[in-house]
Each structure stands twice: as structure tokens, then as C-alpha cells.
């Protein structure tokens, strides 16, 4: 060989544990290959083993772990993602309220784990929607927090007799909500409104019905 550089490059792969960061081109290649792989998994069109055999050897090498391993890793990733989301909620409003909300979510998470087993956790999508909602009200008051059987987050604010606003985060963008408040002309009568909205518009809609923002903040 006439080039010493070529010699070095040829030799390096024979030592698998030399420190070596993939080049940018290799990173992009890895990213898109994995994106394709994830898409295939999400569509449930093919099994992991069939992906391995249908691709070239380099890809199959990297999918040598079993479906069980993958499920375990996905579970680990989800647990960490839920913890991170709870931390984000902790930091998006006043420290006292943020800490109280995060602590309550932590306790509910523990109960859920004890009741349903370690594989069951709070819905990550629901937590993401809750984060988007709470972020809109920096001085939010502490709500009552509960979980549905599916692990979705459900918040309720009760203020004065007969006033209630509740919101159920169905996934990362859709919510159901309910508002109860006294009829201004007929005090014995309780008005009841409910709806199905996206998380970024529900507060505006609820405010139009009655000033919900005033009840749940301050």
C-alpha cells in the first residue's frame, strides 16, 4: 500500500474497543436506518427477526437482541421518560405547587405499580398534555389529581360550593373537560358544561363559558 493513512484505517477496525465516535455520515445513516426500523415496528407489519434477515448483515448485527430485550428496554425508556415528564411539570409552575403536583404524581405512580404491577405506569402522552396545560397557568392552584384505570391523568379544581372544573388528558393533545357552576339568575340551579377539545385550546373555551382561569389560579 502506498498510503500510510490507508494502513491506519485498515488496521483500526480489528480492535473493537478503541474509542471511536461514528462519523457524521455514519450517524445520519444509523438514524435513518433506525427510523425505518421503528416505523416497521409501529406498523406491526414485520417482526424483528424478519427485519434482520431482510436487510444486509450490518443491520442484522445490531438487532441481535430478542423481542423480550426490546420490550424490556422500551419499558426502561418509558419509565425514565415518565420521570422526566414529571420533573418538567414540577418546574413549570411555582415551586410549592410544582413540588406538590410532582410528589402526588410520584405517589400515584407508586400505587399504580403496587396495584397493577411494575410494567404499568402513568400514560406518558397524558403527562405531556398535562404539562402543556399547566404551562399556560404559571400561578395555577393545586388541583386534586387522580388517575384513570388506563393511567391517564385527571385533574379537578373545586372552588366555592358548586363550582368545579375537571379535565381528563386522553392523550398528548386531546382532553375531555367538565364545568359546574351556579346559574347566575337561579342560584339553586347548577349549570353543567362538558366538552372534548385539544389541550392548547381548552382553557380559552372554558374561559368563555365562565372565568375558569380565575378559579384555578391565584
C-alpha cell read off for 86:
414529571
Question: Strand 164-169 and strand 190-198: pairing?
Answer: unpaired
> Does residue 198 contact residue 175 with C-beta atoms inside 8 Å?
yes
Cβ count near 100 (within 10 Å): 16
Interaction of residue 44 with other proteins, rule CB under 8 A = no
At its nearest, how many Å lie between other proteins and the CB of residue 2? 7
At its nearest, how many Å lie between other proteins and the CB of residue 165? 32
Interaction of residue 70 with other proteins, rule CB under 8 A = yes
Q: Report the C-alpha dihedral over residues 165, 170, 171, 172, rounded to 10 degrees.
A: -10
Q: Which DSSP symbol is given to 140? A: B
35 exposure class (CB count in 10 Å sphere: 0-12, 13-18, 19+):
exposed
How many chain residues are in contact with other proteins, going by CB under 8 A?
36
Q: According to CB under 8 A, which one of 48, 55, 60, 83 is a site residue for other proteins? A: 83
45-65 CB burial, b ≥16 within 10 A, e <16? eeebeebbeebeeebeeebee
Interaction of residue 103 with other proteins, rule CB under 8 A = no
Identify which of residues 66 and 148 has a Cβ nearer to other proteins in the complex: 66
Give dist(CA 16, CA 48) in Å, integer. 25
Q: According to CB under 8 A, which one of 45, 47, 54, 62 is a site residue for other proteins? A: 62
Q: Select the span of 21-29, 49-57, 96-104, 153-161 touching other proteins (CB under 8 A).
A: 21-29
Identify which of residues 14 and 188 has a Cβ nearer to other proteins in the complex: 14
Interaction of residue 69 with other proteins, rule CB under 8 A = yes
Q: Which DSSP symbol is given to 19? A: -
Identify which of residues 19 and 185 has a Cβ nearer to other proteins in the complex: 19
Interaction of residue 47 with other proteins, rule CB under 8 A = no
C-alpha cell read off for 4:
500510510
Q: Select the span of 74-82, 91-99, 133-141, 144-152 touching other proteins (CB under 8 A).
A: 74-82
* Contact positions vs other proteins (CB under 8 A): 2, 4-5, 7-8, 11, 14-22, 27, 30-31, 33-35, 38, 61-62, 64-65, 69-70, 72-73, 76-77, 80, 83-84, 87
Amino acid at each position: 500500500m502506498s498510503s500510510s493513512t490507508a494502513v491506519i484505517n485498515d488496521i483500526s477496525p480489528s480492535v473493537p474497543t478503541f474509542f471511536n465516535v461514528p462519523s457524521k455520515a455514519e450517524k445520519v445513516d444509523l438514524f435513518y436506518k433506525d427510523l425505518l426500523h421503528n416505523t416497521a415496528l409501529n406498523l406491526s407489519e414485520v417482526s424483528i427477526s424478519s427485519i434482520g434477515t431482510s436487510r444486509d448483515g450490518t443491520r442484522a448485527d445490531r438487532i441481535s437482541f430478542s423481542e423480550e430485550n426490546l420490550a424490556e428496554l422500551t419499558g426502561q425508556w418509558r419509565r425514565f421518560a415518565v420521570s422526566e415528564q414529571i420533573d418538567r411539570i414540577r418546574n413549570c409552575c411555582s415551586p410549592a405547587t410544582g413540588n406538590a403536583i410532582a410528589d402526588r404524581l410520584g405517589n400515584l405512580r407508586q400505587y399504580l405499580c403496587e396495584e397493577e404491577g411494575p410494567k404499568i405506569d402513568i400514560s406518558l402522552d397524558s403527562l405531556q398534555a398535562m404539562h402543556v396545560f399547566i404551562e399556560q397557568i404559571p400561578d395555577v392552584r393545586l388541583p386534586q389529581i387522580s388517575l384513570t384505570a388506563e393511567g391517564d391523568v385527571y385533574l379537578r379544581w373545586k372552588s366555592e360550593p358548586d363550582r368545579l372544573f375537571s379535565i381528563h388528558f386522553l392523550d398528548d393533545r386531546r382532553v375531555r373537560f367538565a364545568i359546574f357552576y351556579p346559574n347566575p339568575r337561579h342560584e339553586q340551579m347548577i349549570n353543567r358544561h362538558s366538552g372534548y377539545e385539544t389541550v392548547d385550546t381548552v382553557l380559552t373555551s372554558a374561559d368563555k363559558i365562565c372565568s375558569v382561569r380565575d378559579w384555578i389560579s391565584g
